[in-house]
Structure 1
Amino acid sequence: MSGPDTDPGTRSDTSRAVAFSDAIFAIIITLLVLDLRVPDVPPGHLLSGLLGQWPAYVAYLASYSYVAVVWLNHKAAFNRIQQTDRGLHWMNLLVLFSTALLPFPTVVVSHALQEHDNADQRVAVSFYALIGAALCATWLAFYHYLARRPDLLKGEAKNEFFRVERLRAVVGIVLYVLAGLAGYLVTPLVGLVIFLLPPVFFAVTSAGLYHFRLTRRIRHRTPPPSD
């Protein structure tokens, strides 16, 4: 394969990319919790104030779960990567860029739901869905790049893994687009419920959709223990 990235001087192991990415993920998760504050209520109303902040808790749960599965996906991917080149570094930085945006729409959704303005809530849910879909799109680009660069992968990883993983990213895009449309056109609550689905799907398949399908196939083929 020709091109500047075939130059050995542009390649390196994955240690620095993984360390840098883990630091970014840690910062993102820290930023998410900053929106959880002590409610400004008069004495004797702390319980009602805490309960009134439920949108902040839901937004935090959805975004924390999403960042958690992004980290798991990142770990699963880099466990199969032997070397990085400039293109892969840019793909990784793109994933980190979109992940780092999550605290912003999280705060927007939290505040809009607490203000009880339906129009703002619809916009906030749609905005969160847009960022979620954008993050899935960056993963799609990441997987697509690796599917075309098997020379960067470890020997045992040179199979259909990254080609199949693009399907996971497409599923995520579809779910977030559906959540945005439902939240804007129907009701914000429907969008919030759908927001919980992508993290669950990505968590179940965090080791990779290829691995998930292979594990299920092995389980179905394993005969039951004899008495």
Structure 2
Amino acid sequence: MSEQTTELEKEFELERLILFSDAVFAIAITLLIIEIKFPHVPKGASNSEVLALFTPTIIGFLAFMFSFFFIGLVWSRHLNIFKYLRTYDNGVIFYNLLFLFFVVCFPFSASGLEHFRPSFFLPMYIYAVNVALVFLTQYALCNYIFVRKKVLSKSGYEPEKKYMLLKSKYFAISICSALLIALTLFIIFPDYGYVSLSGLYAFAIIWRIMKKRLKKYKPKPIVE
């Protein structure tokens, strides 16, 4: 009876961990839109003045849209990882909190994009570093559960867990490699900030290569 009670308590604690994570995701998304303020437009302002006033708001809203869907993507991957989690330990709590820390940093890094301009690329790099750290810590969490502490995950489902682990790993490699290329180009050509945007093309190419490698590990659907 005591063993059964302990298992039920463990399941309840695990559910609390998942609910806490979901709450952090929800708060991060909510804070994104709270940061966007409707600009004050003075009476008699010309069209060019109105456009100038709305430009930061438009950029902020675009950053919100991108961040919203990005956080949604990260949440869905987090959901898939925890689907195979049987129990937890302090390591899971640590890596999950580290991952959530960078998720909840998005309202700050996204708000900085409103100040982005051709001569000031720093907000773009802060945002890109935030994205990279989210995927790195998510991979670290995935690796801890499926590789370092296999006993924490449910038995079986090995192809699915391996695919999920490699997908997290390859995506993190693609993001970090593209960011490194962008930073290198910016250092070499500091007066031509837009050349660092080639990091986006680098990401597309690297991720395409990684997807081809990942394809052979994709689990086959079960035919009933």
**In the alignment, residue 136 of structure 2 is paired with which amino acid?**
A
Instruction: Give unpaired runs (5+ residues) of structure 2.
Output: 1-5, 187-191
* Alpha carbons 1:63, 1:102 under 8 Å: kept: yes
Counterpart position of 1:139: 138
TM-fit CA distance, 1:210: 8.2
Kindly report which structure 2 residues correspond to 1:124-203, keeping only aligned pairs within 5 A, or say none: 124-146=123-145, 147-159=147-159, 161-162=161-162, 164-179=164-179, 181-182=181-182, 185=186, 187-188=193-194, 191=197, 194=200
Counterparts in 2 of 1:181 and 1:158: CA distance versus 1, 3 Å: closer
Counterpart position of 2:65: 61
* 1:76 aligns with one of 74, 80, 105: 80
Pairing 1:15–2:15 present: yes
**In the alignment, residue 175 of structure 1 is paired with which amino acid?**
I
Counterparts in 2 of 1:81 and 1:23: CA distance versus 1, 3 Å: same
Counterparts in 2 of 1:189 and 1:212: CA distance versus 1, 3 Å: farther
TM-fit CA distance, 1:42: 2.1
How many angstroms apart in 1 are the aligned matches of 2:159 and 2:141? 16
* 2:107 aligns with one of 85, 103, 109: 103
Counterpart position of 2:218: 213
Counterparts in 2 of 1:59 and 1:211: CA distance versus 1, 3 Å: farther
TM-fit CA distance, 1:37: 1.3
* Alpha carbons 1:91, 1:142 under 8 Å: kept: yes
SS at match of 2:41: coil
How many angstroms apart in 1 are the aligned matches of 2:216 and 2:75? 17
SS at match of 1:42: coil
Counterparts in 2 of 1:99 and 1:123: CA distance versus 1, 3 Å: same
TM-fit CA distance, 1:125: 1.1
TM-fit CA distance, 1:171: 2.1
How many angstroms apart in 2 are the aligned matches of 1:50 and 1:73? 35
Q: Which moved more, 1:44-53 or 1:97-106?
A: 44-53
TM-fit CA distance, 1:54: 2.3
**In the alignment, residue 59 of structure 1 is paired with which amino acid?**
A
* Alpha carbons 2:71, 2:103 under 8 Å: kept: yes
Cα deviations by residue, 1:59-91 (Å, 9 ceiling, x for unpaired): 112211221111111111111111111111111
* Alpha carbons 1:59, 1:106 under 8 Å: kept: yes
Counterparts in 2 of 1:127 and 1:52: CA distance versus 1, 3 Å: closer
Task: Kindly report the root-mean-square deviation, in angstroms, between the aligned alpha carbons of the 2 structures.
Answer: 3.6
How many angstroms apart in 2 are the aligned matches of 1:39 and 1:189? 31
TM-fit CA distance, 1:188: 4.6
Counterparts in 2 of 1:193 and 1:177: CA distance versus 1, 3 Å: closer
Number of matched residues? 196
* Alpha carbons 1:137, 1:170 under 8 Å: kept: no
Instruction: Give unpaired runs (5+ residues) of structure 1.
Output: 1-7, 223-227
* Alpha carbons 2:38, 2:57 under 8 Å: kept: no
Counterpart position of 1:40: 40
Q: Which moved more, 1:48-57 or 1:18-27?
A: 48-57
SS at match of 2:59: helix
How many angstroms apart in 2 are the aligned matches of 1:166 and 1:17? 24
How many angstroms apart in 1 are the aligned matches of 2:21 and 2:162? 19
